[in-house]
């Protein structure tokens, strides 16, 4: 490599760093905008009105009760309440989806739209940083944990924006997603940062583009499913308290009543995990083929290989339990979180704390 080429690559690497820090700054603005959306939404009467229509802890019986309305001349007319359309599945509580983070508040909705706009801008800047990093090393930008982290957060935000583009009701995911992305990027630039460098010979293969890119995408979708599952557990507990006639705290009520119903969150988590599971299966198969090409064996019980398979088994058990044993609700949610925990350990724990053939560039 000539001195001029080396200087150009170094300049591109510095530009990539600037772009990543700039994306973090814009993500921070989006974070505050999402906070404002939730704060202004807490003042809205829409969610409280919805709770009143559904009878709160009294169930849906009150929702269908007739309403007496006095007319002129002293006459009284009896009107039927409008039926509340819910997304609940058969056999579960008939609870409607919440109105969203903005809670129907106009100002809250404005801050939510600003947060989405800032998220799109931050995603574009971060994606440019990832591409610039790839140009600086002239290879796929996921040869170490730093590159994997910045690419993973980019893809995770891209998956979220893709759901929004498809008109899916996932704005509730915005705040936890941006919070996670900021933590992920903060870890990347402080602890995991690795200077631009070339790969070890074993990684010089087109399988790097295929195997690692699919692993990153699967992780991003598993993350979305994991957040939905965690929120499901909180929302389901909230609904159980209402059904038991208990009164949750003001803060819990303000947050929980604006989320989708527990049945909706449960269904959403199951669908995204089921949709990406075949791709995770392909990821493991592609890794085995690459291992055979690079090391002369398809399987060697390397820690990364073992935990990838454990993750596959955990998600397979979750999907199998849902499909055949009829597991739904909290039991299935716990299985899904265990599976996602396996993926997280495979992502961070194995790479940082365990040595193996997949340990490259320090981290």
Q: 98 near 258, Cβ under 8 Å? A: yes
pLDDT value at residue 229: 94
Question: Token digits for 8?
Answer: 């150009």
Ramachandran sector of residue 59 (left: φ over 0; alpha: ψ -120 to 50; beta: rest): left
For the ranges 229-243, 270-284, 297-311, 334-348, the lowest mean pLDDT is seen at: 297-311
For the ranges 34-38, 43-47, 213-217, 339-343, the lowest mean pLDDT is seen at: 43-47
Residue range 90-101: average pLDDT?
70
Q: 122 near 32, Cβ under 8 Å? A: no
Q: 75 near 92, Cβ under 8 Å? A: no
Q: What is the pTM of this model?
A: 0.82
pLDDT value at residue 94: 66
- Summarize pLDDT for 132-187 with one digit per residue, the tens: 999 988 888 887 889 999 999 999 999 999 999 998 889 999 999 999 999 999 99
Per-residue pLDDT at 223 exceeds 80: yes
pLDDT value at residue 357: 59
pLDDT value at residue 104: 80
Question: Token digits for 198?
Answer: 């070339």
Q: 258 near 172, Cβ under 8 Å? A: yes
For the ranges 115-124, 138-147, 214-223, the lowest mean pLDDT is seen at: 138-147
pLDDT value at residue 89: 42
Q: 181 near 115, Cβ under 8 Å? A: no
Bigger pLDDT: 250 or 166? 166
């Amino acid at each position: 490599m000539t001195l001029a080429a080396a200087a150009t690559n170094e300049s591109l690497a510095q530009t990539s760093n600037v772009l990543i820090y700039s994306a973090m700054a814009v993500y921070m603005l989006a974070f505050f905008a999402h906070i404002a959306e939730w704060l202004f939404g807490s003042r809205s009467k829409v969610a409280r009105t919805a709770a009143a229509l559904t009878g709160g802890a009294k169930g849906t019986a009150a929702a269908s009760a007739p309403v007496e309305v006095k007319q002129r001349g002293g006459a009284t007319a009896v009107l039927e309440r409008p039926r509340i359309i819910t997304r609940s599945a058969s056999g579960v509580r008939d609870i409607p989806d919440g109105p969203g983070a903005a809670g129907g508040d106009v100002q809250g909705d404005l801050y939510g739209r600003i947060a989405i706009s800032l998220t799109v801008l931050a995603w574009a800047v971060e994606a440019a940083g990832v591409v610039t990093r790839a140009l600086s090393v002239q290879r796929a930008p996921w040869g170490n944990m730093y590159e994997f982290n910045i690419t993973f957060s980019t893809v995770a935000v891209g998956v979220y924006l893709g759901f929004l583009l498809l008109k899916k009701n996932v704005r509730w995911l915005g705040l936890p997603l941006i919070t996670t992305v900021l933590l992920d990027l903060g870890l990347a630039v402080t602890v995991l940062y690795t200077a631009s460098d070339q790969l070890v010979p074993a990684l010089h293969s087109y399988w790097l583009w295929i195997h690692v890119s699919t692993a990153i995408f699967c992780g991003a979708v598993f993350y979305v499913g994991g957040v939905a599952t965690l929120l499901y557990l909180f929302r389901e507990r909230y609904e159980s308290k209402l059904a038991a006639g208990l009164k949750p705290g003001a803060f819990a009520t303000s947050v929980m009543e604006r989320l989708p119903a527990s049945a909706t969150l449960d269904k959403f988590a199951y669908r995204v995990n089921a949709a990406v599971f075949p791709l995770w299966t392909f990821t493991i198969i592609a890794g085995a083929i690459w291992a055979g090409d690079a090391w002369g064996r398809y399987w060697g019980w390397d820690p990364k290989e073992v935990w990838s398979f454990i993750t596959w088994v955990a998600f397979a058990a979750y999907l199998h339990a849902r499909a055949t044993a009829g597991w739904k609700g909290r039991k299935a949610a716990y299985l899904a979180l265990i599976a996602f925990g396996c993926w997280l350990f495979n992502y961070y724990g194995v790479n940082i704390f365990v040595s193996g053939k997949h340990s490259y560039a320090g981290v």
